[in-house]
Amino acid sequence: MVFSSITFLYYFLPLVLAIYYIVPSKCKNLVLLIASFLFYFFGEPIYVLLMAFSILITYLFGRLIGKFQDTKYAKLFLILAIIISIGLLVYFKYTNFLINNINLWLKHKIDFIYVVLPIGISFYTFQMLSYLIDVYRKQAKVQKNILKLAMYVSLFPQLIAGPIVRYTTIENQLENRTHTMEKFALGVRRFIIGLGKKVLIANVLGKLVNTFLASSEMSIIYYWLYAIAVMLQIYFDFSGYSDMAIGLGKMFGFEFPENFNYPYIAKSITEFWRRWHISLSSWFRDYVYIPLGGNRTSKIKWIRNIMIVWFLTGLWHGAAWNFVIWGMYFGIILIIEKLLLNKYIEKLPKLLSHLYVLIIVMISFIIFNGESTNQILQNIGGLVGIKNIPFAMPESIYYLKSYFVVIAIGIIASTPLLKNIINLEKFKKVVTLLEPVFLICILFISTAYIVDGSFNPFLYFRF
């Protein structure tokens, strides 16, 4: 089940909200736990058992780490828990990737294993690991109530696509959280905006991306149209889903961390990654980069640390080499920035520094979206007219005209321009009056799009 579906919007969510607010406070967590397991069951019936097993392992090892705190056994239990959790992730996500590469490199013929990637396993595995590591570090208290730990892991608003919510972030909210009409209204507002970003921008541009990939036309305009569409599709798909998750959290009294902060206005790649998928970036920083030594070590080890983090970041996104290349690409650029470019970037006019970031990110998402090395190189080369392709052809002009408005809206909406205008004092009264109408229209139009079309993917389900 996805948030942008009729089943979720008009059946599951209203029913869960109604029951949640009817029952006494002491029963609200139980309602959320049952709802979360049902939500996951709709999409992955058999893998509910896998998630339950993972929760049980996390609970038991968390108790053991807490019981043997400050002894060598605590570290042993942490290592065992990490091995089991990462082992499950590797088996379900990377087994056939590993078999394929063994076959290629060693000329073996090992048969592939039939294994389906459980939705959200990358996200909830990282959440459980952060809990265990924080307990070991004494940054979080041991959760002795398995139902509360299960609710933290399985909480349906952020279960399948994040943001990666750390236990320390909502530890107190599991026990005590506030429910107000204002918070609920803000949650509804945030959810509808996220739904609009997902359905009306990401899905529409996704059709353009698929049309390009299926086309045999080669023209410079068409390659640029594809590259811009991919950038905007990925951003609005994932940020839209994050908005919906944060909005749902507010409806149930939770405060989830922000996951995006207008990354396309960044003036360096370092800044871009402080604004893009913030929960993942900070997770790798706190649980991988800093434990490796961070930047408080020799230059060679610092470079090693960055490349390890970005190799893992790429691999986390998917079991394919294009994701690994994508991660290493960013790792290399960040090293170059920090060693050579930062002093020059800081002196550049803002427009040029923004363009620098956008070009780097555009190329990165061509890599990210590529299915083969040849396709990636062809799509990057097409931007500069390699192989003497024409500047424009009838098909590219047609799609440019057809998608111009959506692309223009996407570009504007990916900046804080509208937010800044809305927040101006002279517009506040008008915004207060028109905002409910605007949100109703977005909900109505999004619903119409969902009902009318079958193209409603979510890119991060692959991860």
Write out the catalytic residue numbers.
317
- Residues near 312 by beta carbon (within 8 Å), at least 6 away in sequence: 284, 288, 327
SS3 content of the chain, % helix, strand, coil (to 5): 75, 0, 25
Cα dihedral value 339, 298, 269, 288, nearest 10:
170
State the amino acid at position 166 in one-letter form: R
Burial class of 150 by CB neighbour count within 10 A (0 to 12, 13 to 18, 19+):
buried
**Spacing of C-alpha 294 from chain mean position:** 24
> What's the alpha-carbon Rg for the chain, to the nearest Å?
23
> What does residue 344 show for φ and ψ, rounded to 5 degrees?
-85, -40
State the amino acid at position 291 in one-letter form: P
Burial class of 178 by CB neighbour count within 10 A (0 to 12, 13 to 18, 19+):
exposed
Q: Would you call the peptide bond into 390 cis, given omega within 30 degrees of 0 as the criterion?
A: no
| CA pair distance 272, 415, nearest whole angstrom | 13
Q: 76-79 long-range contacts, Cβ below 8 Å, gap at least 24?
A: 78/132, 78/133, 78/136
CB 198 within 8 A of CB 240: yes
State the amino acid at position 243 in one-letter form: D
Q: Say which DSSP state 348 is in.
A: S
- Residues near 197 by beta carbon (within 8 Å), at least 6 away in sequence: 236, 239, 240, 243, 413
CB 208 within 8 A of CB 229: yes
| CA pair distance 283, 309, nearest whole angstrom | 10
